Amino acid sequence: MAYREINSTQNEHIKLLAKLKERKYRKELNLALIEGWNILEEALQQELLVEILTTAPNRLKLKNISGVLLTICSEPILAKLSQSKNSQNIIGVIDLNKTKTKSDFEINQNILLLENIQDPGNLGTLIRTGLGFNFTNIILYNHTVDIFNDKVLRASQGAVFRTIIKELNLEEIKVLQANQYKVITTNLNQKSTFLQDWQFHKTEKYILALGNEGHGLSPDLQKLSDYNIQVKINPKLESLNVAQAGTILMYEINRQLEGK
């Protein structure tokens, strides 16, 4: 593994990498930072890493890795790049051109549509749950938080690298619906059927649409609804968190379609 040493927080390369904390620079440079051993190992498996930055004591742990530049640096440099209180003194740089965001959706896989999700923890959890329950095609719509936000990456536990995630507009979503996808919404203001009373069919493909934490789905997406389904909860509770509701819905849809 090729390696080098950088000792100054004012190094131009370090300054450039620090900009990747902002979404606009991630999009401009097609690079993103990841932190921690678990996510780093996941990115290695997917061949996304172009550089690893760590302290000298970690060099031996990385001796069997090839094709990735190793930069040995000081803890102050890692602190400058880190967005976490626990980066484990290892940071990776990934090439966004190599992620599955460039791939076509998997045929016959259900789609998770996320509109304007603003909490990074919610987004990461939903992506991870989507992988768990076969919603591996994911649409981000209408200003949903960036998937390469550090909190999203940590909550997803690397699932962002194993799912196909695309930012689509309303017309592109309508095209998918025209191609035999049924849109499931969860709008409490529309006539709905309780989840436990609904039968999902193996002959249908589904888009499960989940909306903003405070405002739900926009009117534009509500109009696309084929089925509006509600999770029955204790009347003392006004509503579920979007990640909780999404988990329940994806589990039940997958359970029925898998015949379990």
- List pLDDT tens digits, range 72-97: 999 999 999 998 877 689 999 999 99
188-215 tens-digit pLDDT: 777 899 999 999 999 999 999 999 999 9
Only one residue has tokens 């000792």, namely 7
Same domain, 82 and 105: no
What pLDDT shows up at residue 157? 92
Query: Can you tell me the mean pLDDT for 113-126?
Result: 97
| Residue 33 belongs to domain with CATH number | 3.30.1330.30
What pLDDT shows up at residue 260? 60
Query: Can you tell me the mean pLDDT for 216-220?
Result: 95
Residue 63's pLDDT band (boundaries 50, 70, 90)? confident
Same domain, 119 and 90: no
Same domain, 155 and 252: yes
Structure tokens that stand for 52 in this block: 């690893």
- Last residue of a domain, which of 54, 75, 98? 98
What pLDDT shows up at residue 14? 97
Instruction: Confirm if 230 and 194 have CB atoms less than 8 A apart.
Output: yes
Q: How many domains, the chain?
A: 2
Same domain, 93 and 160: no
What pLDDT shows up at residue 85? 75
Kindly list the distances between the CA atom of residue 208 and the CA atoms of 59, 79, 94, 177, in Å, as whole numbers in the listed order.
Answer: 44, 39, 29, 11
Query: Can you tell me the mean pLDDT for 164-180?
Result: 95
Query: Can you tell me the mean pLDDT for 143-162?
Result: 93
Same domain, 67 and 112: no
